[in-house]
Structure 1
């Protein structure tokens, strides 16, 4: 099952991904992304300080301007519906 980390402010995205059968983890702290196949972020405070520490090897999807359904489509495209 694909494990997707989702920023806390994106509760509608979390609900939509859970409904589709994905294992969803709330990203409360930076270490929560470890082990995730993909992370969904709001993009509102993306890299403010210019730091480039890598926490996960998974894909990162910026949800800014996307609906929950569009984010789900992005995840499905990257993982071929590996649920």
Structure 2
């Protein structure tokens, strides 16, 4: 599986950590398929108002998590 992850724009530290670890980072609103997870900050924000976006990828709420914890969570999905 491609190491592609959708990450909210305001999570720049997590984006950088993912890229350093070989992940391709795309926007949650990207039409680019094949993502393995969607990383958001706060589940109550309706995924940045993209309620009509359909993905089978798991959504990870990064609230209170370090970049290393997010990467660990993504890797546990594989």
Query: Which interval holds the TM-score relative to the shorter structure?
Result: 0.7 to 0.9
* Contact 1:33/1:55, CA 8 A, preserved across alignment: no
Unmatched 5+ residue regions in structure 2?
A: none
TM-score, with structure 1 as normaliser = 0.74
CA distance in 1, matches of 2:75, 2:3: 10
Give the structure with higher Rg (CA).
1
Distance 1:54 1:26 in 2: 12
Tell me the residue number matched to 2:56: 57
TM-score by length of 2: 0.78
CA shift, 1:33, in A, is: 6.0
RMSD across aligned positions (CA): 2.3
Moved more, 39-48 or 54-63: 39-48
Distance 1:33 1:59 in 2: 16
Q: Please show how residues 1-83 of structure 1 align to structure 2 within 5 Å.
A: 1-27=2-28, 30=29, 32=30, 34-35=32-33, 36-43=35-42, 45-47=44-46, 53-79=52-78
**Structure 1 segments unaligned to the other structure (5+ residues):** none
| 2:37 and 2:60 in contact (8 A); partners too | yes
How many residues in Structure 1 have an aligned counterpart in Structure 2?
74
